[in-house]
Chain A
Amino acid sequence: MSETATQAPPATAAATDDVLLDVRDLKVHFDTEAGTFRAVDGVSFSVKRGKTLGIVGESGCGKSVTSSGIMRLVPMPPGRFAGGEVMFDGRDLLKLSEKEMRGMRGGRIGMIFQEPMTALNPVYRIGDQIIESLRVHSGLGRAAARRRAIELLDLVRLPSPEKRVDDFPHQLSGGQRQRVMIALALANDPELLIADEPTTALDVTIQAQILELMRDLSARTGAAIVLITHDLGVVAETCDDVVVMYAGRVVERAPVAALFAAPQHPYTIGLMAAVPRLDIQSDRLETIPGSVPPPYAKIDGCRFASRCPVATDQCRAELPPLRELAPGHSVACWRAPLEDVA
């Protein structure tokens, strides 16, 4: 089957100690009435300890399914792991028992979601929601857990934390709630923080503050971050490495500097053109015409072919594998490197 064409060996084939999370050929499919929907179809990337990895891509490309797949929070059914491994600190999360996995969630892996307005339970005090997580994972007593919750709220710079700890979520603004979510995610000193569009729902000024806070805290605690966003500007400022996803697959993977200096995949180039930036010439693809192929369509070739300005017959017939062009810089495109194309 050409669809399962192997992607390039993980960037960490020589699995070194500094790799915390190594996602290998992850496939999350949904069995729906209309057929099998391959929301995530062979995604590979790795995150080094203490580093920040950005995942970018258009709405619906499978970013959230990837991140909730890592946490094993995809509703099953209709979801299903159709293959792959999620190696976290040397162990495959997909093989853990449910109980072991619960120890990971909120313990060694924290998660922040896009919607701060609804991510907290409206009927419990924010302090109690943090305390609950502390007590599940560290068995702290109530009083100690409460002290720690106040400490955490202070850490995320919520004003007068010893008072706000008893507030209900509706008494806080969106930015404040996202700070509480960060406190919650960091409660048990996770080694990995997965943030799924943590700032998308916030005002621009608040966005910058929250990103700044996340950067600062990860530097302080040494937590690695997977930052999901569709904002390349955020990636440029925040991340060490980037994964670009399109229609459930990784199309390009690179250190942030390399990606912005020399994007190789036509889709990445299109994305950059869509973001007005001074330091990138935008005389190639202003916008990306066309739209993502329908999810159930059976596509043998490159999924971007219908929108790609430089597609060839080979592109439409065969799925391009992820190839490493330069150290750490991989691209899934038959025509890369593109220097000679333009």
Chain B
Amino acid sequence: MIGQIANRLILSVPVLFGVLLLGFLLLQLVPGDPAVVIAGPAAPPEVLDAIRQEMGLDQPVMVQFWNYLARVASGDMGRSLISNKTVLSELGGAIIPTVELMVACLFWSIPLGIGMGTVAAVKRGSIADRIVMALSVGGVSLPIFFICLLAIQFLGVYWPIFPFIGRGGPVWTYDGFMHIVLPAVSLGLIFIGPVARMTRSSVLEVLKLDHVRTARAKGLSERAVILRHALRNALIPVVTLVGLQAGYLLGGAIVTETIFSWPGIGRLAVGAILSSDFPVAQGTILVLALAFIVINLIVDVLYALLDPRVQG
């Protein structure tokens, strides 16, 4: 298991490198000149040239990238062109809200999705099954921004129950909790459908297996058969699915944070790109890539915990 994690980490180095390079190149395509951003649109050309030279922007792209890597490796990610704060402190302030949002989203959507999928599988063909399947198809086919807007429209404006702008503080405070409800619900909704469907089909598969028959032949109650012998095994593909959807989740988080003005990495990334704040934009790309790697590591660990055949 340790070896596996180490393996995964080693493999993630080239991935990280590739993501950074790609991000760097893509940012070159974004219209906007960092020198103009710093000096302002009215600055004379000599000043802009001087700034470019000082920042190394006159160098070839690959040299710039190499210099950037070298600086990141030494822990210096530069400063925001807009706020002049270090990128590290900008990222640091945004990571906690994003992690909070993700955890809040997964915290309710994964168990609910698994529960719905299990009920649907056990009561296959019933009304409950049909409702679950219809809801999950709906959840998959609605785009995330639309879900966010619906949530704001109904639970924020029409019935003004929950605030929908910004973060109210740490999640355990009343204000913090109320503020996170709408973004966490919206982001979670896109997750429930796939999780419920995967759980349903996985439980149905497992219920056909021989070891479930053995569990029944032991005299276990139907409840124990389903929870201990069907669901536990059925969760293995569900965990895989959640891992595969990590990118989807991160993408959804960017949209959700932007719509709800949630001060996380996603909103920071969008803001930085829109204002040509390249050091911050590049920093958020690095964080998102790392997040992807971490999620997959967690999935690996869960996988090994759920399935003893994986170890060894």
Seen from chain A, the residues whose Cβ lies within 8 Å of a Cβ on chain B are: 68, 71, 73, 102-107, 110-111, 113, 115, 118-123, 132-133, 136-137, 168, 170, 181, 184
**Other-chain contact of B309, A68, A107, A170 (Cβ < 8 Å):** A170
Per the bound structure, the CA–CA distance linking A245 and B251 in Å amounts to: 62
In Å, the complex CA distance between A212 and B128 comes to: 50
Would you call B308 and A137 a contact (CB within 8 A)?
Answer: no
Q: Is there an interface contact between B214 and A136, defined as CB atoms closer than 8 Å? A: no
A106 to B215, CA, bound (A): 9
Closest A residue to B235 by beta carbon equals: A123
Q: A73-B213, A122-B233 are in contact. List 18 more A-B contacts (CB 8 A).
A: A73-B216, A102-B220, A104-B219, A105-B219, A111-B217, A113-B213, A113-B214, A115-B210, A118-B210, A119-B210, A121-B215, A121-B233, A122-B211, A123-B233, A123-B306, A123-B307, A170-B309, A184-B214
A295 to chain B, nearest CB (A): 21
Within the complex, which residue of B219, B224, B308 is in contact with A107, where a contact is CB–CB below 8 Å? B219
- Contact between B218 and A122, CB atoms less than 8 A apart: no
Chain B contacts with A in 205-254, Cβ cutoff 8 A: 209-211, 213-221, 224, 228-229, 232-233
Q: How far is the CA of A143 from the CA of B157 in the complex (A)?
A: 59
Provide the residues of chain B in CB contact with A68, threshold 8 Å.
213
> Residue on B with the closest CB to A122?
B309
- Give chain B residues whose Cβ lies under 8 Å from the Cβ of A71: 217
Q: Which residues of B contact A132 (CB under 8 A)?
A: 218, 220, 228
Residues of B close to A110: CB separation below 8 A: 217
- Residues of A near B213 (CB, < 8 A) are 68, 73, 113, 119
Q: Which of chain B's residues have a CB closer than 8 A to the CB of A181? A: 214
Q: With A120-B211, A122-B307, A168-B309 in contact, do A106 and B232 touch (Cβ < 8 Å)? A: no
B140 to chain A, nearest CB (A): 29
**Assembly CA distance A107 to B217 (angstroms):** 9
Interface residues of B (CB under 8 A from A): 209-211, 213-221, 224, 228-229, 232-233, 306-309
Give the residue of A103, A113, A115, A122 whose beta carbon is less than 8 angstroms from that of B219: A103
A130 to chain B, nearest CB (A): 9
- Chain A nearest CB, measured from B216 CB (Å): 6
Chain B residues in 8 Å Cβ range of A73: 213, 216-217
Chain A residues with Cβ below 8 Å from B220 are: 102, 106, 132, 136
- The contact of A137 among B214, B217, B219, B224, by CB within 8 Å, is B219
Q: How far is the CA of A133 from the CA of B211 in the complex (A)?
A: 13
Min CB distance B306 to A, Å, is: 7
Q: Which residue of B lies closest to A108 (CB)?
A: B219
Contacts of A107 in B (CB 8 A): 219
Shortest C-beta distance, B153 to chain A (Å), equals 44
> In the assembly, what is the distance between CA of A341 and CA of B214, in Å?
46
Complex A-B: 7 CB contacts under 8 Å: A73-B217, A106-B218, A119-B214, A120-B211, A122-B309, A123-B233, A181-B214
B309 near A120 (CB under 8 angstroms)? no
**Bound-state Cα–Cα, A104 to B213, Å:** 15
Q: Which residues of A contact B233 (CB under 8 A)?
A: 121-123
Interchain nearest-CB distance for B208 vs A (Å): 9
Cβ contact within 8 Å between B309 and A106: no
Q: Give complex CA distance A176, B309 in Å.
A: 17
B7 CB to nearest A CB, Å: 21
B309 touches A105 (CB 8 A): no
A184 and B218: CB pair below 8 A? yes
Q: Which are the 6 A-B pairs with shortest beta-carbon distances?
A: A106-B219, A106-B218, A105-B219, A118-B210, A121-B211, A133-B218
Whether the pair A136, B219 counts as a contact (CB closer than 8 A) is yes
Residues of A contacting B232 with CB < 8 Å? 123
How far, in whole Å, are A111 and B214 apart by their CA atoms in the complex?
A: 8
User: From residue A88, how far is it (CB to closest CB) to chain B in Å?
Assistant: 14
A107, A115, A121, A168: most-surrounded residue (chain B CB, <10 A): A121
CB contacts (< 8 Å) of A136 on chain B: these are: 218-220, 224
- Choose among A104, A119, A123, A137 the residue with the greatest number of B CB atoms under 10 Å from its CB: A123
In angstroms, how far is the closest chain B Cβ from the Cβ of A180?
11
Beyond A113-B210, A119-B214, A121-B215, is A102–B306 a contact (Cβ under 8 Å)?
no
Question: Are A170 and B210 within 8 A (Cβ)?
Answer: no
Q: Tell me, in angstroms, the Cα distance from A125 to B233 when the chains sit together.
A: 13
How far is A120 from B213 in the complex, measured between Cα atoms in Å? 9
One of A103, A119, A170 near B211 (C-beta < 8 A) = A119
Query: Distance (Å) between the CB of A6 and the closest chain B CB?
Result: 32
Q: Provide the bound-state CA to CA distance between A184 and B217, in Å.
A: 10
CB-nearest residue of chain A to B307 = A123
Contact between chains at B219 and A133 (CB < 8 Å): yes
- Max chain A Cβ within 10 angstroms of own Cβ: one of B209, B210, B214, B215: B214
Bound: A222/B261 CA distance, A: 74
B218 engages A118 (CB within 8 Å): no
CB distance from A120 to the nearest CB of B (A): 6
B114 to chain A, nearest CB (A): 16
- A130 nearest in chain B by CB position: B218
Q: Which of B213, B229, B232 has the most CB of A within 10 A?
A: B213
Chain A residues near B216 (CB, 8 Å)? 73, 105
**A170 nearest in chain B by CB position:** B309
B214 and A121 within 8 A (CB): yes
